[in-house]
Amino acid sequence: MRLARARTPDGIVTGAYDDGVIETERETYELGVDADLLAPTRPSALYCVGRNYAATLDQMDYERPAQPDFFIKPPVSVRGPETPIPYPRFSEEVTYAGELAAVIDAECSNVAESEVDDVVRGYTIMNDVDALDQPGRTARKAFDGSGPLGPWIETDLDPAGIDMRTVIDGEERQNANTDHMLFSPREVVSFLSERVTLKPGDVVAFGSPANPGVIEPGNEIEITYAGVGTLRNTVAEAETEG
C-alpha cells in the first residue's frame, strides 16, 4: 500500500494512494483537483548515511567506513514532491543525490536487524541536496530545502535488490541497485537505534549511488526507485522561497 499525505479543502490528510486518488476513512480526493501532495511524513530528524556505495567511494576517493557513517538533517530540510527546491544564496555548487529512505513507524531503540521490519512504516525517496562548496558536513547538508522527500510511503517493500535511476532534465545521471550498498537498510536502522531513540515519522536515508552531481536553477530532478515511485522537484532561483 502507498500512504500519501496531502493538502485538501478539509485540511492535511493521510490516506491510501492509488492512481491519482487518495482515500481516507471519510473522503476520497483527486490529485490536482482537490489534493496536492505533501512530504509523506513530518520527521523530528532525518538520519542520513553517507559513503554507503562502493562505486561512490571510488568516484569521490573516500575510504571505506567500518560502520555506517551518518549525519543529521533538521526538519526544515524537508520539501514535498513537485515543490521547488530553493537554491541556497550562500552556495555556488549545489548537488543532488538520489536515496532510498525508511520512515519509522514506532518509537524504538536497540532494535535487532531481525526486528527492523516491525518498526518501519515503509519506504520513500529522499534527495540529499548538498551545498558542496561549504566547509564541513553540517554546513553542506543542513539547510532549508536540503531534503526533498516523497512522493509517498510504500508499506509493502523489501528494500533489497531495488533498481534506481536519477534523471536531470531528461538525462540519466544515476543508475544503480540497492544491493550495491555496503550496509543494508536493516543494518543501518539497527545501528542508528543503538545510538538514538527513533521517533514515529523519522526518516533514515541510506546513501547515494555514484554520480551525484551539480544542479542549477531551472533543472528538473526525477529520482525513481522501483516499487516506490518517482520523486520529482524543480530547482528554484536563489531569490525564490521554497
pLDDT at 212: 86
pTM score, two decimals?
0.95
- Whether 28 and 102 share a structural domain: no
241 domain-assigned: no
193 contacts 70 by C-beta, under 8 angstroms: no
Please check whether residue 155 lies inside any domain of the structure.
Answer: yes
pLDDT at 241: 44
Q: Cα separation of 107 and 150, whole Å?
A: 21
CA-to-CA distance for 10 and 237, rounded, in angstroms? 32
Mean pLDDT of the chain: 95
CATH number for the domain spanning 182: value is: 3.90.850.10
Regions of the chain with pLDDT less than 70: 239-242
Query: Are residues 117 and 47 part of one domain?
Result: yes
* pLDDT at residue 242, rounded to an integer: 39
* Nearest partner of 88 among 98, 100, 71, 76, judged by Cα: 76
Is residue 26 domain-shared with residue 114, that is, in the same domain?
no
Could you list the residue range(s) of the whole structural domain that residue 101 is in?
39-236
pLDDT at site 108: 98
Dihedral sign for Cα atoms in the order 108, 111, 115, 120? positive
27 shares its domain with 50: no
